[in-house]
Amino acid sequence: EYAELALSARLKEAAPQLQAMRKGLEEMLPGGLVELLEGAELERLAAGSAAVDVELLRQHTVCRGEDGHQHVVDALWRVLGSMSQEDLAAFLRFVWGRSRLPRPSEFTETFKIHISSSLAQDNKLPKADTCFFTLNLPAYSSEEVLRARLLYAIRHCTDMDADLLEAAIPHAAR
C-alpha cells in the first residue's frame, strides 16, 4: 500500500504546474485543440519555426548609418543568405537573445542595422544590443571580411552578460 501511495504522490506532484502550463497553452489555442496537435506542431505554434527565414527578417529590418554604406548592408544579406540554419540561429541569439523568429503574424519587433562610418574597420567585430534587436556593424572593406568577423562574433560571443564578467575582473588582471 505504501508503494502505491508513494507512486501516486510522485505522479501527481507536478499537477499544479502542468495545469498552469495547460491554461497558458489554452490562452494561445482554443480549448481542446492542444490535444489534437503533435509535439512538433505545438512547438512551432508556441515557439516559432526552428528554420530562420532570412527574407522574413529582412522585411522587418531598418538600416541606419551614414550614406554610402549600402554595399555593407547588401553584403550582410548575402552572408546571412548563405549561412547554415545553425549559424542563423546563433546570429539571432547574438542580435536578439533568442534563436527563433516569431511567426509572421506575431513579428512586431524591428531589426535595426547601424553601420559605423569611421575608416579602418576591418579589425573590429560587430556589436549587438539584444534588448533593442540591433546590430552595430563596422563598415567592412569586403564581404569576406564581414563574413569572417560576423561568424567569429556569433560563434564566440555567446554570453549576453559577458560585459558583466569584464567588469568583475580587476583592472590589473586584464
Residues assigned a catalytic role: 131
Q: Are 161 and 141 in contact, with CB atoms under 8 Å apart?
A: no
C-alpha cell at 2: 505504501
CA distance 106 to 32: 23
